[in-house]
Amino acid sequence: MFQQALEVPSVQVQVDEVNNWVNEFDAVVERIGPHFARSEARVRARDYMIGLLSPVERKNGWQLAEQVGNQTPYGIQNLLGRAIWDADAVRDEHRAYVVEHLGHEQAVLVVDETGFVKKGKHSVGVQRQYSGTAGRVENCQIGVFLSYASPQGYTFLDRELYLPKSWTDDSQRCRSVGVPDEVKFATKPQLARQMLERAFNAGVPAAWVTADEVYGSDRRLRLWLEQQQQAYVMAVSTTEPIWSGFQMHKVQELVATIPEAAWVRNSCGEGSKGPREYEWAKARFNCPDAPEWERWLLVRRSLADKIDMAYYVAFAPSGTTLEEMVCVAGTRWTIETSFETAKGEVGLDHYEVRSWSGWYRHITLALAAHAFLTVTRATGAREFFKKEAALVQYDSLHEFKRQRGLSCP
């Protein structure tokens, strides 16, 4: 009986959970295994991911080696450097794993970047540049990431390293760290498009794309998404030009035309201190090339300070509600949470490699480890709610029988 099952000793429950964890982890390693040319590299990759998932404080070569019982870090370093394996193929397998477990037709693809502070000038892509992570100009690398947010959970799908022109204009410098000759300068929105295109070509189910103003203010990226008939809600700056009627206006000029009665209080999701509530309004503008779609200016206003506003451009099927667009805009915070957990739990920023392939290999395995944690947690949550639902069903049946004088188990 269900009640008897609940009385199984907690030690056995913990053993079962550990076994499930190990089985799921082995399944992930088995999926990516064919993309490693030699068995030694497959074993090293498994050890590396175990180290990333371990509680060791700093997940660098020495500490990861010690964590998995190696006397030196040479095996770990070889995995990230000279071993033969395809990081892009592992990424594709990782993406399929995420979709298999978290895929949902109403999911949101989220684009954002994060900085990796580095010393010196020899690590690939490093230069003094603005890092939102540090909140200032720092000597750092910038990675652009694509994440997947669905009702089942959220984690990363893809990654690209941003190479500044100081690197792409210096072919000798690029060759010294193994940057392929075919890699040319690409803006951050162009890198975002590459990752989105890969996701679309792979059939990743998603209803929306969202990103901050670095990407939303790139009109070419927005127009490309519209050509794919892909709905989006993208943040833009106050000076973003928009055609309304037969005139071009800056975003902040259109806000002045929104009547006060059009503002609606709404939450764009749960924050650390409860619902993140703001006042929201929308204004439609020209969308001549897609009659079944609409373009909107979406404006967020602080409850405490009506001058404090944020702006978004939305492209959505006709009839999409303000509440739906607000929800998508609020989904962008999920990638910030993923950055935080990936750096804190799987050492996303703990690497010490300098080369192009080393960066992609570490980041790819870290994203795979993060996805494994996300899927494991999501599966655990679903099992918990299944048990809760079964308990409610059992209690309801028990009460029904008791009230009618029927025998109860």
- Residue 408 in any domain: the answer is no
CA distance linking residue 389 with residue 409, whole number of Å: 18
Do residues 378 and 102 lie in contact, with contact meaning Cβ atoms separated by under 8 Å? yes
Give the pLDDT mean for 86-110. 97
CA distances 38 to 34, 197, 227, 236, 367, Å, are 9, 31, 43, 47, 22
* Top-ranked range on mean pLDDT: pick from 22-31, 66-75, 218-227: 218-227
Q: CB atoms < 10 A from the CB of 236, how many?
A: 23
Kindly give the pairing relationship between strand 231-236 and strand 208-211. Answer: parallel
- Residue 227 in any domain: the answer is yes
| Lowest-pLDDT range of 265-269, 279-283, 348-352 | 265-269
- Residue 196 in any domain: the answer is no
- Residue 393 in any domain: the answer is no
Q: Give Cβ neighbours of residue 405 (< 8 Å, ≥ 6 apart).
A: none
Amino acid in position 155: T
pLDDT confidence tier of residue 14, bands split at 50, 70 and 90? low
- Residue 301 in any domain: the answer is yes
Instruction: Give the count of domains, the chain.
Output: 1
231 lies in which domain range? Answer: 215-324
- 286-315 pLDDT tens trace: 766 667 899 999 999 999 888 899 999 999
* Location of structure tokens 């792409």: 168
What pLDDT sits at residue 245? 65
pLDDT confidence tier of residue 15, bands split at 50, 70 and 90? low
Amino acid in position 163: L
DSSP for 248-273, please give it: EEEHHHHHTTS-GGG-EEEEEEEETT
- Residue 379 in any domain: the answer is no
CA distances 50 to 53, 59, 120, 322, Å, are 5, 11, 30, 44
φ, ψ for residue 276, nearest 5 deg: -90, 90
Give the pLDDT mean for 189-198. 98
CA distance linking residue 211 with residue 110, whole number of Å: 6
| Lowest-pLDDT range of 189-193, 210-214, 384-388 | 384-388
Q: CB atoms < 10 A from the CB of 361, how many?
A: 23
φ, ψ for residue 375, nearest 5 deg: -65, -40
With CA atoms as reference, report the closest residue to 150 among 100, 196, 195: 100
Largest Cα–Cα separation, the chain: 87
Give the pLDDT mean for 43-52. 94
- Residue 226 in any domain: the answer is yes
Give the pLDDT mean for 336-359. 95
Give the pLDDT mean for 334-341. 96
Q: CB atoms < 10 A from the CB of 394, how many?
A: 15
pLDDT of residue 114 exceeding 50, the answer is: yes
What pLDDT sits at residue 146? 98
pLDDT confidence tier of residue 17, bands split at 50, 70 and 90? low
Mean of the per-residue pLDDT values for the chain? 86
- Residue 268 in any domain: the answer is yes
What pLDDT sits at residue 178? 97
CA distances 31 to 24, 193, 347, Å, are 11, 27, 22
